[in-house]
Structure 1
Amino acid sequence: MDQVNYLSTEDDAISLIEGNYEKFAFSRHYHLDYHFGLITNGKQKFQYRGTQYCAGEGEIIIMPPDELHDGHSVLDTGYQVRVFSIIPDWFNTQLDLTSPSDMVSFQSSIVRDPELFAKLAATHQLLGHHCGDICQLAQDCLPLEGFGDLIERYGLIQPKMPHHLGKKTLDSLREYLMAHLDQPIRLKQLADICHLTPTQFQRHFKATTGMTPYAWLSRLRLEQAMKLLKSKVAGTDVALQVGFYDQAHFSKAFKHSFGVRPSDVR
């Protein structure tokens, strides 16, 4: 039976997912944050950058921001995963990255490291359930200790390569859309921003992101909706803020993407 819990932590930059997936499958999508998935049981298959991957029990899946991928169970019995969702700026701050264009990348999409897996699994448990067995200072230090080891062993610090769309970048286009999520967006409007014709814009956008502008914007709205719900904004207000004027349509789209209703996020 599918069961998913989305959990907040005391650090707004880090949120958690506890997922038991049997029938639910993720269609092609992207995240605004880094996702680190710990497979605790079963096997998950996913496609990423044209390659099929399969991760099993004890393995860590690493998915950077803005990367298109899907996901589903290999076995009829499903799989269980514990996920850290971490905003990119958290790494910039914790690692004292000197350039805003620098970002953390990883050498592999799947890591098998039993010691590190156990450490991150314990961190997930402590952050998600606010266990009182350790002092507050120790809890505050947990994320950097675990992810510091992950980066030291498997990570790289590299400049982020901008994706250009005409005279704009994908990042600048995202900033514009984030400021206008509650408004109707027209194709010509986006094309004009990038100094392209609508046909050129559609073609360049699909080649850059792997998605149509509409599908990409729809996912952006849902990603922002999840962030607002985690920050305790009421569901009806969230729907309006991200451009859904029908609550039923918003709830249906949200559950299709995340496997839970907006009201289930806490």
Structure 2
Amino acid sequence: MDKVNYHKTQNQEISLIDANYQTFAFQRHYHLDFHIGLITNGQQKFHYQGASYQVGAGQIVVMPPDELHDGHSLLDSGYQVKVFSVDPQWLSDLAELKRPGNTISFNQLIVHDSSVFKPLAQLHHSLAEDNLSQLAKDCLPYEGFNQLFTRYGALGQKTAIPLGQQSVNTLKEYLMANLDQPVRLEQLSELCQLSPTQFQRHFKAKVGLTPYAWLSRLRLEQGMKLLKSGVGGTEVAHQIGFYDQAHFSKAFKATYGVSPSQIS
């Protein structure tokens, strides 16, 4: 049976997922944050950048933001996972990036290292509890993620994915500022100085999704962030461009396996 719990933490840049996935399968999607998943039981299978991967208990999956992937249980019995959703800027601050344009990355997609797994599992448990002092909850994430970054982190330059006369990131910034608006294909193609046909073809080739599917995911990812920050479901629906809460709730549950009201 599928069971998913989302938790906020005292740090707005870090949230938690504690899940048992059995039948629920993630279609191709991306996140706005780093998702660091600790497999605690069972096995998961996923596709990423044209390759297929399997992960099991004791392994960590470090999925960067904006990267397409899917995921489902390899076994009928399902798999259990504890996930940290971490704002990229928070990790950048942890790495103390000095130069403009630098970005944090990790040199392994799958980490099998008990000396990193165990502290992160304990951190996940601690952040979900209410019996820690405020200072402990503030400090523990830095300690927990520092070891992961020290061993497997890397620094690099943020690379822009060109799209006509703009980049995918420029397009993302434009859409984030207009999520509540009825975006037209002509607007996006003009922004990139491409014809609508060229824009659709180039976008799918560069990103791996249609513009409509990519925007739909962007809206839901932003919706998740707003829910975690305490904004009510009806207001979230309006802010990200859904006509009403019913349509938003249906799309949200199909994407994340839970209803908006279950995000705490």
Report TM bin, short chain. over 0.9
Shift of 1:24: 0.4
SS in 2 for 1:256: helix
Superposition pairs of residues 1-266 of structure 1, within 5 angstroms: 1-132=1-132, 135-266=133-264
SS in 1 for 2:138: helix
Q: Distance in 2 between matches of 1:138 and 1:8?
A: 16
Superposed CA offset, 1:110-134 (max 9, x none): 10111211100000011112333xx
In the alignment, structure 2 segments of 5+ residues that lack a partner are none
Q: Distance in 2 between matches of 1:131 and 1:169?
A: 46
Superposed CA offset, 1:65-112 (max 9, x none): 000000000111100000000011102222221234211111221101
Q: Does the aligned pair in 1 maintain the 2:10–2:137 contact within 8 Å?
A: no
Superposed CA offset, 1:174-207 (max 9, x none): 1110111011011110000011111111111111
Taking every aligned residue pair, what percent have the same amino acid on both sides? 59
Q: Distance in 2 between matches of 1:162 and 1:111?
A: 27
In the alignment, structure 1 segments of 5+ residues that lack a partner are none
Superposed CA offset, 1:156-179 (max 9, x none): 111111111111111111111011
What TM-score do you get using the length of structure 2 for normalisation? 0.98
What TM-score do you get using the length of structure 1 for normalisation? 0.97
SS in 2 for 1:18: strand
Shift of 1:146: 1.6
Decide whether aligned partners of structure 1 residues 32 and 43 sit closer, same or farther in structure 2, where only a CA change above 3 A counts: same
SS in 1 for 2:198: helix
Structure 1 stretches of 4+ moved >6 Å? none
SS in 1 for 2:170: helix
Q: Distance in 2 between matches of 1:99 and 1:208?
A: 27
- Counterpart of 1:121, as a letter, is A
Q: Does the aligned pair in 1 maintain the 2:95–2:104 contact within 8 Å?
A: no
**How much is the aligned-residue C-alpha RMSD, in angstroms?**
1.0
Q: How many residues align?
A: 264
Q: Distance in 1 between matches of 2:237 and 2:160?
A: 30
